[in-house]
Amino acid sequence: MKTGTLLLLFLLLFSACSTGGKANPGGLSNAQASTIVNKGSDTLVNLALAWAEKYHELYPEIEISVTGGGSGTGIAALINGTVDLANASRQIKAEEVQQAQANGVTPKEFVVARDAIAIVVNPTNPVNELTIQQLSDIYSGKINNWKELGGEDRVIVRLSRETNSGTHVFFLENVVRMGDPNNKTFFSPDTLLLPSSEGITAETRDNPNAIGYDGLGYVTPEVKVVAVGKDASGPFVMPSAETVNSGKYPIARDLYMYTNGEPTGKVLDYINWIMTPEAQAIVKQLGFVPIK
């Protein structure tokens, strides 16, 4: 009986707390505040959050809700009309455009930032530069020992992001298949698919056999970044904001936001603000590459 009353009391307390919690922000965001819903790429999610926070500081009447879930999820939500802005770490596919048009949505593309994919190895690894061809051979399983690349006699342990990651798809198309749409090369099946960027960093930091790839923003000083060359004659380039924007670093990609048709009103204001030096400074802070 005693425990029963206690339980009831707890329940009452909890329900009181939760309604109280909900009532407050509800009261704050009155009818005049308006919300921009932004969803998509996990690569972009931290950047999008940082932008949203800053923008909300500058214009308190605009609330921006940001969620991840992946590029595909964001674009699907745009097609279904549930978001104002979709983030994507890859370009929208032709079939997705068709789906969108069937739903009366015309996706409009904005490049909001760039991202370099850095090739990382263990700091003790003597290999300093690799060509795209060599990277493709490593990941497709043609090269299996660091000896063949001028390193020590060690088995190569290939690390990759999971197949649902936009970064994985980008790497497959632009490195493993070397940008050739007719090339049907695969990742070697013994490639380790790690669920997070942190997993790749941890294993590369520790394992002298490992090679991995990661967005520039995720690279820590504990791993060694390899210079990449388009072909054997070089030049071999380190990833950085400058080399990405000058087009010298070969494994870089644009990061996108998509709107439904030409944006207007608050969404247009927000997109315009993202292109300002102020917003692009945040891009650099988070380790991505600003577009200007």
Partner 1 sequence: MNKTQKPTEFILTLLIKVSGYSAIIFVLMIFFFLLREGLPTLQEVSISNLLSTRWYPIEDYFGLLPLLGGSIIVTIGAAVIAIPVGLFTAVYIAEVAPRKTRDFLKPIVEVLGGIPSVVLGFLGIIILAPNLRRLLDLPTGLSALAGFILLSAVAIPTIVSVAEDALDSVPRSYRDAALALGATQWQTIWRVTLPAARSGVITGVMLGVGRVIGETMAVMMVTGNAPIMPIHLNSFISPVRTMTATIAAEMGEVATGSTHYHVLFFIGLVLFVISLGINIAASSAMFKQRKRSERILS
Question: Can you give the binding site for partner 1, defined by CB under 8 A?
Answer: 69-73, 76, 154-155, 157, 162-165, 168-169, 172, 186-187, 189-195, 199, 202-203, 206-207, 209-210
- Give min distance, CB of 200 to partner 1, in A: 11
- Nearer CB in complex with partner 1: 199/287: 199
Q: In angstroms, what CA-CA distances link 26 with 29, 33, 82?
A: 5, 11, 21
- Nearer CB in complex with partner 1: 36/156: 156
- Give min distance, CB of 156 to partner 1, in A: 8
CB atoms within 10 A of CB 98: 11
- Nearer CB in complex with partner 1: 62/210: 210
- Give min distance, CB of 55 to partner 1, in A: 26
Instruction: Please list the alpha-helical segments (H only) found in 29-80.
Output: 42-58, 71-79
- Nearer CB in complex with partner 1: 73/131: 73
| Bridging pattern class, strands 224-229 and 236-237 | antiparallel
Q: What is the DSSP letter of 93?
A: P
Catalogue the E-assigned strands of the chain.
Answer: 34-40, 62-69, 85-88, 107-121, 129-131, 157-161, 192-194, 210-215, 224-229, 236-237, 252-260
Q: What is the DSSP letter of 135?
A: H
- Nearer CB in complex with partner 1: 170/249: 170
- Give min distance, CB of 189 to partner 1, in A: 5
- Give min distance, CB of 157 to partner 1, in A: 4
